[in-house]
Chain A
């Protein structure tokens, strides 16, 4: 098979980067979105101030493999479970969920227990996020 045909068969990994809640700090979300794009993924960015309902609806419509939430407002223990519940209600438990932002370690453990696959705090290298994303959808 030629390279072009091979690529045709495997679609790029699709990732939704969402910013739930009210904070507007999108530096991290955008740096990560760009790094994933540069690693060959299709990144759908929802924009700021999204409700959990809006994020899950977008993830459904865009048929993404991964949902990444960026939260710096301290509301992660409210917003993340809300998104997970809605994903579950839509039978979308196969979607890989990751969270980035200012998340204290205790809370990160709680989120992992709820089903979040990874929590990326400040200082995470984007290469690690790319590697994790690929591995999480079985494309390591």
Chain B
């Protein structure tokens, strides 16, 4: 039986292996994705981001518990940075998870920092989880860098987590993630300054463009499971609004376009590179660019013309 068929039948080991494939070698996974693609796209993908130490992992765990209790099938993807020097990574997000056994499927992804690998792997990982039957996927990334913002682009609902004080909120605004948040959570809301942080956030959101969905600002103490059910409610409300949104069809088309464009770019690059290498042109052109005898765009054009 193919790996794709095994996933569709709910084989956890097959899912784990397929996730490894999409992470390591996207082409090896093309067949699997092709097989399962009709069974993807349902349910809700929730992105959760925020600075280190705001309690994202704990919130993810509590949301998982909350949605499990509501009969949803929960999958988690947790992204941690790889070391730019060694390529290694310490993936510690499981530490915050209460033992939920095999009810929740969680996978830790390292950014691996090359060729936008994560941006390519993430939608495929989501698709695999959906094909496996998960209808509520929690996607957690650390920090507020550009690559995290990109990854959040794959979420249907994006939650920004901050804590009172310590300037975390200011950092969040600086990084421009205010625009991508659909729900704001002020975690550890028993801390001094929580009210002020919530007020400030609301003000800033009101100053922004008016949208059909006004992002709510919610207080929570994830560690104590306080306020988590309200966050879950907001996620489901947002997803209803999204589904009844007349622009929904347009958004689906946009997403399809992005995915196809990405795949196309990837395939074209690979084809050109492979053929150039086969002809021995690749190294030659790289040398010319390195020695400043040819510019990079000129090189790309030359390689591309070679094909025709």
A12 on interface, CB distance cutoff 8 Å = yes
Contact A57 B19 (CB under 8 A): no
Contact B102 A57 (CB under 8 A): yes
The contact sample of 21 A-B pairs, CB cut-off 8 A, is A8-B24, A8-B25, A11-B24, A11-B25, A12-B88, A14-B20, A36-B88, A38-B83, A40-B86, A40-B87, A40-B88, A42-B110, A43-B89, A44-B91, A44-B108, A46-B95, A47-B95, A47-B96, A61-B16, A63-B17, A92-B13
Interface residues of A in 50-89 (CB under 8 A from B): 50-51, 53-54, 57-58, 60-63
CB distance from B289 to the nearest CB of A (A): 13
For B12, list chain A residues within 8 Å (CB). 60-61
B251 on interface, CB distance cutoff 8 Å = no
For A44, list chain B residues within 8 Å (CB). 91-92, 94, 108
Choose one: A1, A41, A46, A63; the contact of B277 (CB below 8 Å).
A1
Contact B90 A45 (CB under 8 A): yes
B23 on interface, CB distance cutoff 8 Å = yes
User: How many angstroms between the C-alpha atoms of A95 and B90 in the bound complex?
Assistant: 19
B115 on interface, CB distance cutoff 8 Å = yes
For B105, list chain A residues within 8 Å (CB). 61
B70 on interface, CB distance cutoff 8 Å = no
Interface size class of A (residues with CB under 8 A): 35 or more
Q: Which of A4, A9, A33, A40 has the most CB of B within 10 A?
A: A40
Which residue from chain A places its CB closest to the CB of B85 in the assembled complex?
A38
A22 on interface, CB distance cutoff 8 Å = no
A134 on interface, CB distance cutoff 8 Å = no
**5 extra interface residue pairs, beta carbon distance < 8 Å, beyond A41-B88, A60-B13:** A12-B112, A14-B20, A42-B108, A57-B102, A91-B13
Check A62/B88 contact, CB under 8 A, given A7-B114, A8-B117.
no
Which residue from chain B places its CB closest to the CB of A18 in the assembled complex?
B94
Chain B positions within 8 Å of A, measured between CB atoms, are: 12-13, 16-17, 19-20, 23-25, 82-83, 86-92, 94-96, 99, 101-102, 105-108, 110, 112, 114-115, 117, 273, 277
User: How many angstroms between the C-alpha atoms of A10 and B107 in the bound complex?
Assistant: 19
Contact B88 A57 (CB under 8 A): no
Which residue from chain B places its CB closest to the CB of A48 in the assembled complex?
B95
Which residue from chain B places its CB closest to the CB of A58 in the assembled complex?
B94
Check A42/B91 contact, CB under 8 A, given A8-B25, A62-B108.
yes
For B89, list chain A residues within 8 Å (CB). 12, 37, 42-43
User: How many angstroms between the C-alpha atoms of A79 and B91 in the bound complex?
Assistant: 23
Choose one: B25, B88, B114; the contact of A42 (CB below 8 Å).
B88
For B96, list chain A residues within 8 Å (CB). 47
CB distance from A42 to the nearest CB of B (A): 5
Check A39/B91 contact, CB under 8 A, given A7-B114, A9-B25, A57-B101.
no
CB distance from B143 to the nearest CB of A (A): 18
CB distance from A104 to the nearest CB of B (A): 29
User: How many angstroms between the C-alpha atoms of A62 and B110 in the bound complex?
Assistant: 11
CB distance from A91 to the nearest CB of B (A): 7
Contact B86 A38 (CB under 8 A): yes
User: How many angstroms between the C-alpha atoms of A37 and B82 in the bound complex?
Assistant: 9
Q: Which of B17, B91, B107 has the most CB of A within 10 A?
A: B91
Contact B86 A39 (CB under 8 A): yes
Check A63/B19 contact, CB under 8 A, given A36-B88, A40-B88.
yes
For B110, list chain A residues within 8 Å (CB). 12, 42
Contact A43 B91 (CB under 8 A): yes
Contact B94 A47 (CB under 8 A): yes
For B106, list chain A residues within 8 Å (CB). 58, 61
